[in-house]
Amino acid sequence: MKVLFAYIGVVLIWSTTPLAIKWSGQGAGFIFGVAARMSIGAACIWLFLLLSRKAIPLHRKALKTYFAVSIQIYGAMMAVHWAAQFIPSGWLSVIFGLSPFVTALIAAVWLKERSLTVSKLFSYLLGLGGLAVIFHSALQLDIKAPQGIIGVLVAVFLQSATAVWVKKIKAGLGGLTQVAGGLIFALPAYGLTWYFVDNGAWPSNLNERNLYSIVYLGAVATTIGFSLYYYILLHLSATSVAMLTLVSPVLALYIGHTINHEPVPLKVTMGTALILSALLLHSFFDRILQKKLRSKQYK
C-alpha cells in the first residue's frame, strides 16, 4: 500500500512539475531557476535527515549510488530546464513518456531484464512515431522548438541510465538518502555552472511566480518527488518505475493548456496518443498474453 501511495504521489508531482519548470526560468533564467531549486531541495532534505538523526552512509556502494543519482539531479534536470525555454510545459512530460523505452533498452543490456519481446519492439516503433509527429509540429511552432525536444531527450536518456545504474549497484539505500547523497555531488556542479555561465549574478527580473515555482520545485518536486521516486525504485523493476510516465503526460498537457494557455495542436494530440498507446502496449500486452497461456495450461 505504501508503494501505491508513493506511485500516485509521483504521478501528481510529475504532472505539475513541467509548468513549474517553465515558470521558474522565465525572468530568473533557467540556470538560476534549477540551481535555486536544488539548493532549496538540499536544505529541506538535509534538515529532515538532521532532525530525524539519520546519517548518510559513506561506504563504497553508497558513494557509487550518490554519484549515479547526481547525474540525474544535475545532468537530466539541467537539460530539461534548458529545454523548457523552447517548448510548452506539457510537451516536457509527453516526451518524458519515452523513458520506459529507453530504460527497457538499457536494462536489457545492463540488468539482463527480459524487455525486448516482439510486442515491446513494436511499442518502441509506435513511440518513435509519436515523437516524429510531435517533432514535426515543433518545426511549425517555433524554429527553436526542436532544440527543446532534443534537450528533453537528453534528459530522458540520463534519467533512464541513472535508474538502471542504481538498480545495478544495489546499495539498499532509502530514497531520501539517495537524493541527499546525490545532491552532495550535484550542488557544487550547479554552483560552478551558475558562476561561470551567469557570472553568479542574482536575477533582476525575479517575480512572485518565479519565486513560488522555484520554492515548489525545491520543497516538493525535488524533496518529496525524488524521494518517492527512489523509494519505489527500490521495490519495483526499472522498467515498471518508468511507467510512471503513462498518466502524467495527459495531466501535464491539460494543466499547461488550462492554466498557462499553452497550445495543444492536433499533431501534438496525435503524437501523444501514439506514445501513450505504445506505453500501454509496452506495459500490458506481454502480461495479458502470459495470463492467457497460463489459463490454457490449466484447462
Question: What does the pLDDT look like over 174-233, one tens digit per residue?
Answer: 878 998 999 999 999 999 999 999 888 888 888 899 999 999 999 999 888 877 877 887
User: Cα–Cα distance between 252 and 249 in angstroms, integer?
Assistant: 5
C-alpha distances (whole Å) from 22 to each of 62, 211, 231, 285 are: 33, 12, 26, 35
Which of 81, 92, 94, 84 lies closest to 38, judged by CA?
A: 81
Specify the residue for cell string 492467457: 292
pLDDT of residue 107: 85
pLDDT of residue 239: 58
pLDDT in tens, 226-252: 778 778 877 776 556 666 767 788 889
Which of 77, 41, 60 lies closest to 179, judged by CA?
A: 41
Burial pattern 59-74, b for ≥16 Cβ within 10 A else e, equals eeebbebbbbbbbbbb
User: Cα–Cα distance between 280 and 34 in angstroms, integer?
Assistant: 32
CB 225 within 8 Å of CB 13: yes
pLDDT at 169 over 60: yes
**Mean per-residue pLDDT for 155-184?**
91
Say what the pTM is. Answer: 0.86
* Domain map (residue ranges) of the chain: 2-290
Specify the residue for cell string 506505453: 279
CB 171 within 8 Å of CB 163: no
